Every structure is written in C-alpha cells, then in structure tokens.
Structure 1
C-alpha cells in the first residue's frame, strides 16, 4: 500500500466534517475541530471552494457548505451501485456471523423477489434460491416491505376486501390481521414470520434504505425450527437490523441521530 498524502487526507477530513450538524462551518470551526494550523485550513478551504467542493453560504460571511461537486460524485457512485451485488456481500457477512441462511429481497406487486441468498453451513437449512417469488404477506421480508408502504399503496396491492392466500396453516389470511401486524412492524422496526411460508422455518427481517431514506429492500435471516427460540429470535433481530443498516450505508443512507 502506498503512502497517504497528508494534504489530501486533511482536505477529506474537512469535507467529512460537513456530514454532521447543520451542514455549514466556518474556517475557525474547522481549525478547532481538526486541530490544524489556521493557515493550512485557509489554504485547503480556498482550494476546495475553487473546485466547487465547498461554496460560501449566502448572507453568512465566512461560512461554507458543500458544493455541487460532492453531489455529482455521489450521483455517479449511486448510478454504479448494484443492489444484488452489494446485498450478497452483506448477506455473506451476516451469514458468517450467525451461520443461518440470509436473504435480500425486493417488493414487486404483492410478491417478494429474492435477489441475494447466502446459505447456512448447517445440514438442516432453508431450501430457497435467488430469483424465487413468494407472496409478500407470508414472509418476514415481505411484511417488512409492505409495512413501509402508504395505506393507498398497500390497498392497491392487497385490497382489504380480498382474503389472502395461505402457504401454510400459520399464514395470515385476514387483511385486517395483516394490517394490525404491519402496524406493529412499523413500531418495532423489525418483522417476524413464524412458519408462515414454510412449516419448518421461521424468519426475521429488517428494512434496507437508499440515500433518500426510502425502503427499497429488506434483509432476512431464516432459521429451521429446531434452532428457533425466543432467545435466538432476539439475537437474530439485532443482527438483521445491523446487516440491513450496513447494506443501507452502502446505498448511501445515513442514519440521523
């Protein structure tokens, strides 16, 4: 690995300061936060402003905000993102931690489509495949994604006057019961499915967000019932949330304090 260039490192440190607070800073504030010489900060800020990485804040002399250049770079990065590829990398890391099957899925109509899957190493594991479709209301990823919809969008996919198809005896078939569960999922931020799509498997799921904060996918961990318990469920919920947050970060999402 080559040597890091101090001036470039300091310039990037300055840019990253603008990710917090109200998004504006003065040169003295940058000097204090980074413990750099005032002359160095002045030269770096002047250079960044000349290249449109920073711009003066109108009617606030001496203060700066991010310019158009970081936005252009971020937009180009977003264009190159491959959700399936990013999802596989995160799913692999989650699976290595818990040694259970991990999926990433999207919502299409009233179904979910699995776009990434990493298997457990256990002999007993969930049999599934990337590309498979399942009714959203029967899966933890699907319920997580349905919970992110507005009422109008949910009604368009699953009208309240139409019974829901069942995959197992535990599947939710009542639209009213589903909506009660979706409200609880919104409150908790995680979804659980217990033997609703497969009589031998339970799952937990968490939402994946893009740079705008929109839920675009969900990450789930699937567990055969022989390894399922309340304690295991609590552990996997935390891990699913962490994995979904990691994937969201790769898509440009930043959690707000």
Structure 2
C-alpha cells in the first residue's frame, strides 16, 4: 500500500486504493487506520483521501543518509573506467545544470573539467541531455523558457528550445546521449540516464574520451558498456536504466 501511494501524483480515495491494490475494503480501511496512527499515511478528511505521511518521509531520508547515491554507484563506475580505459562520471540534475558527483579516472587519462562538484549546463553535456530526454516536454520547456537559458562554452550546442527538442528526440532514438567538443574541444562523451521506479531520471552515467580515439564500432561497444553500467546503478537504486 505504501509503495502504491508513493507512485501516485497526489492523495487517493480509499476505494481507489482498495481497487488498485486488490484488497477488500474492510482490510484497506483497517490498514489505513494503522498507517495513519503510526504517521506513515496522512488522512485528508475534507477530501476523503489518503497520502504519504511524515514517517514515510523520515524513512526515505534515513535511506538517503545511510546509502547515498555515490556509495551505490562507485563500484560500477570504477569497473566501467577499468574496462573501457576512459574516464567515467556520474552526474545529477540541479535546475538546468548537471553536478558531477563521481569521477573515476582511468590510468593515463587526463583530468577533465567534469571533476566532482563541478556544475555545467545540462543542454551541453551528454549526461544532462540523457536526463533531459527522460523528462516530460513541459518540464524541459519550464527549465528553458527563453533564449537566455541557453549558454554556450565554445560557441556550440543548442541555442533555442526547438534545437534542444530535436536533440532530445535524437537522444531517445539512439538510446544514448552524446556531445562532441561542446564542453571541452577535442573530447567527446556518451551517457545514459538512470531512472527510478517512477521513470524519473535520478542520475546519468557517462564516459569521456578523445574525439579521435574511437571508430564507430568501438563507440557502439562503449555505449553498450555505459548502458549496462547505468542499468546496474538503476538496479541498485530499485529503478532501471533509460532510455
């Protein structure tokens, strides 16, 4: 029942809960009364609906404190860098930027601009594009309402919402996001978003390499490794990998 409530966009009537969860009405009301008493569910009597309570939030917060994203993703990211011999990254969205939370540098590879804690415009990075492609169009539009939202680093990348939408359509079609020299000239990246159980992008796995280092066959193999790593991180988080 708690899992069902967590997947709804707002509070739900008891009858709907009973129907969707597949429980008798009497059992549903009994369980709801117990969960309300313990603070896991809140009852809104004016609306006749039930939603998650403060205790559910505290439970989720405890999980975040004990098993942070970096700890979950560190081992898969390290394995990815070891296998492909290129730097691997994990980034999260923050507004219309991405913030890098893990960088695993492969032996002999240079330090890149995407170090831990660095913020970059999401629409210029492969990591950001993979996560933007997993968001509803209305949310992307809200993040990029006008031309002032589109900054560039080296005169490359989308500068209008129309260009960005076309780029995200291509990202969904390919099943991965790419960027070529838009963050750092001479370097390219591929990325795949990690989705939670509600199909929301919680992070992105990316690999960065010299633009002339891979041929098409090698790039395809690398993209598959990135996809598998994103899938593993998603599995550890209880979600899945997109796109």
Question: Same fold per TM (> 0.5)?
Answer: yes
The equivalent residue for 1:134 is 120
The equivalent residue for 1:150 is 136
Q: Indicate which of 194, 208, 221 corresponds to 1:222.
A: 208
Q: Indicate which of 196, 199, 202 corresponds to 2:188.
A: 202
- What's the TM-score once normalised by structure 2's chain length? 0.69
Deviations along 1:101-140, whole A, 9 cap, x unmatched?
0000011111000011100212456343111000011100
Gaps of 5+ in 1: 1-56, 60-71
Q: Indicate which of 59, 77, 85 corresponds to 2:71.
A: 85
Gaps of 5+ in 2: 1-21, 25-55
What does residue range 116-135 of structure 1 map to in structure 2 within 5 Å? 116-124=102-110, 126-135=112-121
What does residue range 167-178 of structure 1 map to in structure 2 within 5 Å? 167-178=153-164
- What's the TM-score once normalised by structure 1's chain length? 0.65
Deviation of the 1:211 alpha carbon: 3.4
Deviations along 1:162-211, whole A, 9 cap, x unmatched?
46211123322233111101012123321011111111110000011223
Q: 2: CA distance between counterparts of 1:83 and 1:172?
A: 30
Deviation of the 1:85 alpha carbon: 1.6
Q: Rg larger in 1 or in 2?
A: 1
The equivalent residue for 2:82 is 96
How many positions carry a matched residue from both structures? Answer: 186
Q: 1: CA distance between counterparts of 2:218 and 2:88?
A: 15
Q: Indicate which of 105, 108, 131 corresponds to 2:91.
A: 105
The equivalent residue for 2:151 is 165
Q: 1: CA distance between counterparts of 2:164 and 2:240?
A: 30
Deviation of the 1:242 alpha carbon: 0.4
| Structure 1 pair 149–123 and aligned structure 2 pair: CA distance change class (3 A) | closer
Q: 1: CA distance between counterparts of 2:239 and 2:95?
A: 24
Q: CA RMSD in A?
A: 2.5
